[in-house]
């Protein structure tokens, strides 16, 4: 039986993703000739700019074990109405209820459930002979509806959706609803909102406005009714949602075991990781591949590489020399005696050189690079189970039991495809990682570790070390106090995740510790999942293989518990200088700054800009009696954004949010979310229970609407042609 890997394509940033989009476009052209070419060409644009239209587009591809395309599915998510719509599902050989389509549809259902959609809708041509007289087409339609019914998805009945056209123009599709196995009835209001959105999206080439209105009004059953099962007993239906896609697991295959033990640390860890059904659900083994030395020399000097290579070849079996002399000045000549020269490349006595160490260290780097390549090829999670570890190895020196820096090699490799964040949780400061990336702005390094005043490596890992040159501000050290409890560790982690969220990386590398409490490690995985970034976990700490295996299982159980979370899903608490200072009274000088901020956004016209300043003038002249309240956000003594809000006359507890704006120089760092959160807190303090926001429905305001929707605001009303012909007024509401 053929197996398929299902990949989610979020954008075209990776070459493998661009190739997948091209394959999907080819299938659309060959299997769906009625789809306009302009629509096919816009597929990549929909992925790049998910909020340029009301729907967010998500592409899934099915690939064979050899990487050959086997099919695709295109899913739309409407975050406002709370539903998903499956636009296309096809294999390379045409539609049929085969394994590729089944796996694609399973993945689409899983995505819809993760997005908290109330239902997944799709269209399917009728299986009624009176609506489809063509016998061949009728057989295809019946096969399709039988396929979807096997998941519990059935056509909605007693509506005009799918009624014959007048004049006739061929069969029209049923609207099929899948409740995602929740067994919840779909209420009428929700169904009408979803149907209106679906038909409006297709109105340009399928439905005139009057037909849309008539179709929506034809939904009268509350809850809506689905057709009875036609192709098999209901008890055998409603396929369960699948477990999230397992993480790719790559283990280094040349671990240098302790000569006193029969097996190595990694082998013991593997036996724990893959034991039982949960292990097979969490991980999928992948063999390590050999990579050229250029990936190693990108992060280490040729001299260090040559030194470790020579040690692996020349050290006598059973011996493990460590340095005894450590030069403190610049090295111009190396001693001829190998043991004497070890102090030139290692600052401690914790890193013995053994025979075969080069092969073991290179194997660890290859495993990390193999796992990194999996992320570059579209995987969402990977685990490099490597020994020896690497985060203490610097550019020209090894140390702390580390010879080559596995995470640095993987981070440099992934930096060719996008920004990379590295989160080191091992417990001792990753001084090698810090040194290698200290001057780079494309790789953010974050480390949670014991206070270096009392713990290895003693001479680095302090909070004031923030990077240099282009890398200034891209190194964050979070030393923990002695006897730090779970709350302290969580707060430090949330601060680190806040920095990563603001950095907006394309990939995240996590250095795993060797042991931890069950609840804490699972929680760490779940918190990291909320970043919505592909994750490569690399084993750093630990000597007990069974503890390493248990710890990694807990971490990945949390990481995979929230697949495909959104970058907007969590606002991690800020600390120290990352915080904004809020104030609430308008100063005379604020008039100028308000104008600067609003003008700089490039969104508002001159009349709107004057209106923003006039609201501040009203507050200055009348105080609270004006009905206008403000939140100003200051950072380092400069106002970077503000909001203006006030109670709605004649209501109890309802407030309008008139303005919220952040200067472009401060955008992309999460400050807007912080201002919105503080505004909501102030409104709550004034007795507010609901907040209303008005904005335009034009594409120019797509990012603004996405911002509100990510903050939990839901569409309350859409007033067509309110501002101008084709420019609707969109009203959002949030219940506090």
Summarised one tens digit per residue, pLDDT across range 322-357 is: 877 777 666 667 777 666 777 788 888 888 888 889
Domains 5-236 and 576-735 share a fold: yes
String of DSSP letters for 51-72: TSSSSEEEEEEEE-TTS-EEEE
What confidence score (pLDDT) does residue 244 get?
A: 64
HSE of 701, CA atoms in CB hemisphere, 13 A: 16
Which conformational region is residue 650 in: left (phi greater than 0), alpha (psi within -120 to 50 degrees), or beta? left
Q: Which of 195-204, 277-286, 364-373 has the lowest mean pLDDT?
A: 195-204
What is the tens place of the pLDDT at every residue in 624-664?
999 999 999 998 778 999 999 999 999 999 999 999 999 98
What confidence score (pLDDT) does residue 329 get?
A: 62
Q: How far does Cα 79 stand from its chain's mean position?
A: 16
Task: Enumerate residues 6+ apart whose C-beta is below 8 A from 48.
Answer: 11, 12
Domain 247-301+363-559 architecture: 3-Layer(aba) Sandwich (3.40)
Angle between helices 545-559 and 265-273 (to 10 degrees): 40
Compute the C-alpha angle 405/411/414, nearest 5°: 145
- Extents of the domains making up the chain: 5-236, 247-301+363-559, 576-735
Angle between helices 486-503 and 518-529 (to 10 degrees): 20
Task: Report residue 257's pLDDT band, with 50, 70 and 90 as the boundaries.
Answer: very low
d(Cα 404, Cα 397) in Å, to the nearest integer? 9
Mean pLDDT of 73-97: 77
Could you tell me what percent of the chain has a pLDDT over 90? 40
Which of 404, 230, 172, 193 has its CA nearest to residue 309? Answer: 404
Within 10 angstroms of residue 565's Cβ, the number of other Cβ atoms is 19
- Provide the pairing of β-strand 629-635 with 638-647: antiparallel
The sheet with strand 654-662 has its strands ordered as: 581-583, 629-635, 638-647, 654-662, 690-696, 727-735, 714-724
Return the structure tokens found at 398: 């090894």
Q: Which of 430-439, 513-522, 670-679, 726-735 has the lowest mean pLDDT?
A: 513-522
Within 10 angstroms of residue 601's Cβ, the number of other Cβ atoms is 15
d(Cα 398, Cα 325) in Å, to the nearest integer? 15
Which burial class, exposed, middle or buried, applies to 585 when counting CB atoms under 10 A from its CB (0-12, 13-18, 19+)?
Answer: exposed
d(Cα 615, Cα 658) in Å, to the nearest integer? 9
d(Cα 195, Cα 477) in Å, to the nearest integer? 51
Q: Which of 310-319, 320-329, 405-414, 631-640 has the lowest mean pLDDT?
A: 320-329
d(Cα 210, Cα 233) in Å, to the nearest integer? 39
Residues identified as active-site: 392
CATH code for the structural domain at 5-236: 3.40.630.30
What is the tens place of the pLDDT at every residue in 449-464?
999 998 889 889 999 9
Name residue, tokens 């009905």.
627
Note whether 107 and 11 are within 8 A (CB): no
* Between residues 194 and 51, the one the model is more confident about: 194
Compute the C-alpha angle 685/497/510, nearest 5°: 160
Return the structure tokens found at 304: 């260090």
What is the tens place of the pLDDT at every residue in 706-728?
788 878 888 888 888 888 887 88
d(Cα 300, Cα 499) in Å, to the nearest integer? 27
Q: What SS3 class is residue 188?
A: helix
Note whether 359 and 411 are within 8 A (CB): no
Task: Report residue 222's pLDDT band, with 50, 70 and 90 as the boundaries.
Answer: confident
For domain 576-735, give the fold.
Aminopeptidase (3.40.630)
Q: What SS3 class is residue 635?
A: strand
What is the tens place of the pLDDT at every residue in 103-161?
899 889 988 887 888 999 999 999 988 888 888 889 989 999 999 998 889 999 999 88
DSSP 712: T
**Bridge partners of 647?**
655
Task: Write out the E strands in 152-246.
Answer: 154-155, 174-178
Mean pLDDT of 220-229: 90
What confidence score (pLDDT) does residue 1 get?
A: 45
Helix and strand element counts for the chain (H, E): 22, 22
Within 10 angstroms of residue 317's Cβ, the number of other Cβ atoms is 8
**Bridge partners of 729?**
696, 719
Mean pLDDT of 90-111: 75
DSSP H helical ranges for 321-405: 338-341, 357-376
Return the structure tokens found at 459: 């001479």
Return the structure tokens found at 637: 């003594």
String of DSSP letters for 236-287: G--PPPPPPPPEEEEE-S-----TTSSS-HHHHHHHHHTSHHHHHHHEEE--
Note whether 191 and 158 are within 8 A (CB): no
Burial 700-725, CB ≥16 within 10 A → b, else e: ebbebbbbbbbbebebeebeeeeeee
DSSP 349: S
String of DSSP letters for 587-622: PTTHHHHHHHHHHHHS-S-HHHHHHHHHHHHHHHHH
pTM for the predicted model, two decimal places: 0.64
**Bridge partners of 174?**
124
DSSP 187: P
Mean pLDDT of 549-571: 69
Task: Report residue 206's pLDDT band, with 50, 70 and 90 as the boundaries.
Answer: low
Within 10 angstroms of residue 674's Cβ, the number of other Cβ atoms is 20
């Amino acid at each position: 039986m053929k197996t398929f890997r299902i990949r989610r394509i979020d954008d075209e940033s990776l070459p493998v993703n661009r190739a997948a989009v091209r394959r999907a476009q080819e299938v659309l052209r060959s299997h769906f000739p009625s789809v306009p070419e302009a629509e096919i060409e816009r597929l990549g644009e929909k992925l790049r700019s998910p909020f340029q239209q009301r729907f967010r587009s998500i592409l899934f591809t099915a690939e064979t074990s050899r990487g050959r395309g086997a099919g695709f599915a295109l899913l739309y998510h409407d975050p406002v109405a709370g539903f998903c719509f499956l636009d296309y599902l096809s294999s390379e050989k045409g539609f049929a209820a085969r394994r590729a389509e089944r796996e694609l549809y399973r993945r689409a259902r899983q995505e819809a459930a993760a997005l908290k959609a109330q239902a997944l809708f799709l269209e399917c041509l009728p299986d009624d002979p009176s609506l489809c007289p063509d016998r061949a087409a009728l057989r295809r339609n019946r096969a399709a509806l039988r396929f979807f019914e096997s998941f519990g998805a059935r056509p909605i009945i007693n509506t005009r959706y799918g009624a014959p056209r007048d004049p006739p123009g061929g069969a029209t599709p049923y609207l099929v609803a899948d409740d995602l196995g929740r067994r919840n009835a779909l209420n009428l209001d929700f169904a009408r909102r979803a149907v209106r959105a679906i038909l409006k999206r297709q109105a340009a080439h399928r439905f005139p406005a009057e037909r849309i209105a008539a179709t929506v009004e034809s939904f009268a059953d509350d809850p809506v009714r689905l057709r009875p099962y036609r192709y098999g007993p209901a008890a055998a239906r409603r396929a369960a949602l699948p477990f999230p896609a397992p993480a790719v697991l790559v283990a280094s295959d040349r671990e240098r075991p302790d000569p006193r033990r029969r097996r190595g640390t990694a082998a013991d860890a593997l036996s724990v990781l893959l034991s039982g059904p949960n292990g097979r659900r969490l991980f999928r083994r992948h063999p390590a591949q050999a990579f050229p030395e250029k990936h190693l020399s990108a992060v280490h000097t040729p001299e260090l590489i040559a030194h470790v290579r020579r040690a692996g070849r020349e050290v006598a079996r059973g011996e493990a020399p460590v340095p005894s002399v450590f030069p403190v000045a610049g090295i111009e000549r190396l001693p001829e005696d190998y043991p004497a020269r070890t102090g030139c490349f290692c600052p401690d006595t914790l890193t013995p050189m053994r025979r075969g160490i080069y092969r073991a260290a290179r194997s660890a780097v290859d495993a990390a690079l193999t796992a990194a390549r999996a992320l570059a090829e579209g995987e969402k999670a990977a685990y490099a189970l490597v020994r020896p570890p690497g985060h203490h190895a610097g550019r020209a020196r090894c140390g702390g039991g580390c010879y080559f820096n596995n995470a640095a090699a993987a981070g440099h490799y992934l930096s060719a495809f996008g920004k990379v964040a590295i989160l080191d949780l091992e417990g001792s400061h990753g001084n090698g990682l810090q040194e290698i990336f200290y001057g780079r702005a494309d790789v953010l390094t974050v480390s949670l570790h014991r206070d270096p005043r009392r713990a290895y490596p003693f001479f680095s890992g302090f909070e004031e070390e923030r990077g240099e040159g282009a890398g200034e501000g891209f190194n964050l050290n979070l030393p923990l106090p002695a006897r730090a409890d779970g709350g302290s560790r969580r707060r430090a982690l949330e601060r680190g995740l806040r920095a990563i969220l603001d950095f907006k990386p394309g990939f995240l590398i996590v250095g795993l510790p060797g042991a931890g409490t069950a609840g804490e490690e699972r929680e760490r995985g779940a918190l990291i999942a909320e970043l919505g970034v592909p994750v490569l976990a690399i084993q750093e700490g630990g000597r007990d293989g069974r503890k390493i295996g248990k710890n990694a299982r807990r971490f990945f159980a949390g990481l995979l518990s929230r697949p495909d979370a959104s970058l907007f899903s969590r606002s991690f608490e800020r600390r120290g200088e990352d915080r904004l200072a809020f104030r609430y009274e308008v100063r005379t000088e604020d008039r100028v700054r308000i104008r600067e901020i609003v003008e700089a956004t490039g969104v508002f016209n001159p009349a709107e800009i004057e209106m923003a300043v006039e609201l501040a003038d009203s507050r200055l002249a009348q105080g609270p009696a004006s009905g206008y309240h403000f939140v100003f956000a200051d950072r380092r003594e400069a106002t970077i954004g503000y909001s203006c809000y006030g109670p709605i006359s004649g209501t109890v507890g309802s407030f309008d949010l008139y303005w919220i704006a952040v200067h472009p120089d401060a955008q992309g760092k999460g400050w807007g979310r912080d201002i919105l959160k503080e505004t909501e807190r102030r409104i709550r303090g004034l007795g507010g229970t609901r907040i209303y926001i008005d904005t335009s429905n034009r594409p120019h305001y797509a990012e603004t609407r996405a911002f509100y929707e990510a903050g939990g605001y839901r569409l309350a009303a859409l007033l067509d042609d309110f501002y101008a012909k084709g420019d609707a007024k969109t009203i959002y509401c949030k219940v506090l």
